[in-house]
């Protein structure tokens, strides 16, 4: 029975303990930085299935906490769509994200198959966003996001909050289905590294398959709290005060609102129907296939790939892929002269 060696596991527990000096101490951004950049091993809880051995494996460019190298680090979300149109994220059967690797590659005896699980008939590529400013997004009150959903917009645009079953307002992830940074970080440790923790306590792979880590979380809550503290401390993008007249006249600001409360993120954090070409069929919270959270545009000048799957290699391509509720804005973009387009792209680069 391939179990994770107990001595090594205790070693990890000690490591976490000694790293935190005292379990009940306040979250430490410094420890969070180390944990974010740390390459975990199976003895430390990695796996049995995982996508990378560290957070920085996908969030590294142009500095720790950013996007993947060259702007691209993708994960495949999976699901099963049944005849009646119901969407199943396949939790416990290899979902909600496919894991590219198994600890078998690292010499641990494990027979679980990495990759897209059998039975999935839907996949959606997702690119890793930069995490700069996520702490400020976390602090925006629900009421501020909800107020945006009420205010009338031109072009028949109607943003909808991703309201979660617990009544909270989603804001993180490309479909905005996660309400707090803490929740996302806890799930990232489980979904991407296979490290279970009090927020995401089960590996969501078939029970008992490789190692007996189903019941007890492999890491304690401090690992999540410290990484959240680290992300809170990452400097947020600071959009310049370039003239937004063109951006506004095209109606881009109907969704990419310059400020939400105090935060200059260029998003309403609401869901919009973006049309057929961007529809991935995946349901997450109240977002359906064609619904996406308005991507925050702050920090755009530091990104090399755009849109949820990283398909766009230029800002023009990203804009031209907008449809659905954004169709009128894109029509106006198409009608711009070459000089005006260049001016808009230059403006976006300053955000
Ligand atoms: C294999 C690549 C990969 C690894 C490793 C990874 N991430 Fe991510 N991260 C992603 C992708 C892809 C998304 C977007 C997911 C989505 O919305 O579908 C994301 C999104 C996020 C977000 C939400 C950002 C936002 O503004 O909406 C946070 C926070 C985050 N990751 C933190 C982490 C932490 C912490 C770790 C380490 C425990 C980690 N990630 C490891 C790929 C990765
Ligand atoms: C109806 C709402 C809406 C309007 C109007 C709109 N956008 Fe967007 N925008 C979105 C959404 C939603 C996304 C994310 C789509 C995805 O990833 O599939 C996005 C993504 C983007 C991105 C890619 C960001 C990234 O990091 O990947 C850019 C650039 C962008 N928009 C610029 C613009 C510009 C410029 C305009 C005006 C011509 C505009 N948008 C109008 C909703 C809108």
User: Mind listing the pLDDT tens digit for each residue in 142-197?
Assistant: 999 999 999 889 999 999 999 999 999 999 999 999 999 999 999 999 999 999 99
C-alpha 320 – ligand 1 centre gap (Å): 26
**Number of the ligand closest to the Cα of 196:** 1
| pLDDT score recorded for residue 8 | 44
User: Angle at CA 78, nearest 5°, toward 76 and 80?
Assistant: 160
| pLDDT score recorded for residue 211 | 60
C-alpha 192 – ligand 1 centre gap (Å): 8
Contact call for residues 78 and 127 (beta carbons, < 8 A): no
Distance CA 282, CA 289 (A): 5
Q: How far is CA 82 from CA 90, 276, 302, in A?
A: 12, 20, 40
Residue with tokens 């396949």: 90
Cis peptide before 212 (omega within 30 of 0): no
Positive or negative, the CA dihedral 108, 110, 113, 117 is negative
| Per-residue tokens: 344 | 């808009």
The tens digit of pLDDT for each residue in 292-338 reads 999 999 999 999 999 999 999 999 999 999 999 999 999 999 999 99
Distance CA 88, CA 104 (A): 28
Contact call for residues 297 and 315 (beta carbons, < 8 A): no
| pLDDT score recorded for residue 229 | 98
pLDDT under 70: residue ranges of the chain: 1-24, 207-209, 211-215
Contact call for residues 297 and 266 (beta carbons, < 8 A): yes
Distance CA 92, CA 268 (A): 33
Contact call for residues 94 and 116 (beta carbons, < 8 A): yes
Distance CA 301, CA 89 (A): 34
Contact call for residues 41 and 278 (beta carbons, < 8 A): no
Residues having CB closer than 6 A to ligand 2 are: 157, 174, 250-252, 254-256, 272, 274, 278, 292, 294-295, 297, 300, 303, 306-308, 315, 318-319, 322, 325-326, 329, 333, 348
Distance CA 288, CA 175 (A): 9
Question: Which long-range CB contacts under 8 A does 330-337 form with residues at least 24 apart?
Answer: 332/249, 332/250, 332/251, 333/250, 336/250
C-alpha 339 – ligand 1 centre gap (Å): 37
Residue with tokens 């398959």: 209
Q: How far is CA 132 from CA 85, 144, 249, in A?
A: 37, 21, 28
Distance CA 80, CA 185 (A): 25
C-alpha 67 – ligand 2 centre gap (Å): 18
Provide the 10 A C-beta neighbour count for residue 110.
21
**Number of the ligand closest to the Cα of 320:** 2
Provide the 10 A C-beta neighbour count for residue 10.
11
Contact call for residues 179 and 22 (beta carbons, < 8 A): no
Distance CA 23, CA 33 (A): 17
Hey, which of 37, 52, 75 would you mutate to test ligand 1's pocket, going by the most ligand atoms within 8 Å of its Cβ? 75
Contact call for residues 170 and 285 (beta carbons, < 8 A): yes
């Amino acid at each position: 029975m391939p179990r994770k060696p107990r001595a090594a596991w205790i070693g990890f527990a000690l490591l976490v303990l000694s790293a935190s000096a005292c379990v009940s101490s306040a979250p430490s951004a410094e420890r969070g930085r180390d944990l974010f950049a740390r390459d975990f091993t199976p003895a430390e809880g990695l796996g049995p299935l995982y996508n990378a051995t560290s957070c920085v494996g996908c969030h590294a460019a142009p500095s720790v906490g950013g996007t993947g190298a060259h702007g691209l680090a993708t994960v495949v979300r999976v699901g099963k769509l049944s005849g009646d149109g119901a969407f199943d994220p396949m939790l416990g059967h290899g979902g909600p994200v496919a894991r590219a690797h198994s600890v078998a590659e690292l010499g641990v005896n494990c027979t679980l198959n990495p990759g897209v699980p059998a039975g999935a008939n839907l996949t959606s590529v997702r690119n890793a966003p930069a995490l700069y400013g996520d702490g400020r997004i976390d602090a925006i009150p629900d009421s501020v996001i909800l107020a945006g959903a009420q205010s009338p917009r031109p072009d028949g645009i109607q943003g909808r909050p991703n309201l979660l079953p617990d009544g909270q307002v989603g804001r993180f992830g490309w479909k905005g289905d996660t309400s707090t940074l803490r929740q996302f970080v806890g799930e990232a440790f489980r979904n991407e590294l296979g490290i279970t923790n009090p927020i995401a306590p089960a590996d969501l792979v078939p029970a008992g398959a490789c190692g007996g880590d189903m019941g007890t979380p492999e890491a304690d809550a401090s690992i999540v709290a410290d990484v959240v503290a680290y992300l809170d401390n990452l400097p947020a993008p600071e959009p310049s005060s370039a003239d937004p007249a063109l951006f506004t006249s095209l109606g881009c600001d109907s969704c990419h609102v310059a400020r939400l409360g105090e935060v200059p993120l260029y998003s309403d954090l609401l869901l919009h129907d973006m049309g057929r070409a961007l529809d991935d069929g995946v349901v997450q919270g109240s977002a359906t296939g064609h619904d996406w959270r308005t991507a925050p545009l702050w920090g755009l000048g530091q990104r090399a790939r755009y849109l949820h799957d990283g398909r766009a290699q230029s800002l023009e391509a990203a804009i031209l892929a907008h449809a659905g509720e954004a169709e009128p804005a894109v029509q106006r973009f198409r009608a711009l002269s070459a000089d005006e387009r260049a001016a808009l792209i230059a403006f976006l680069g300053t955000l």
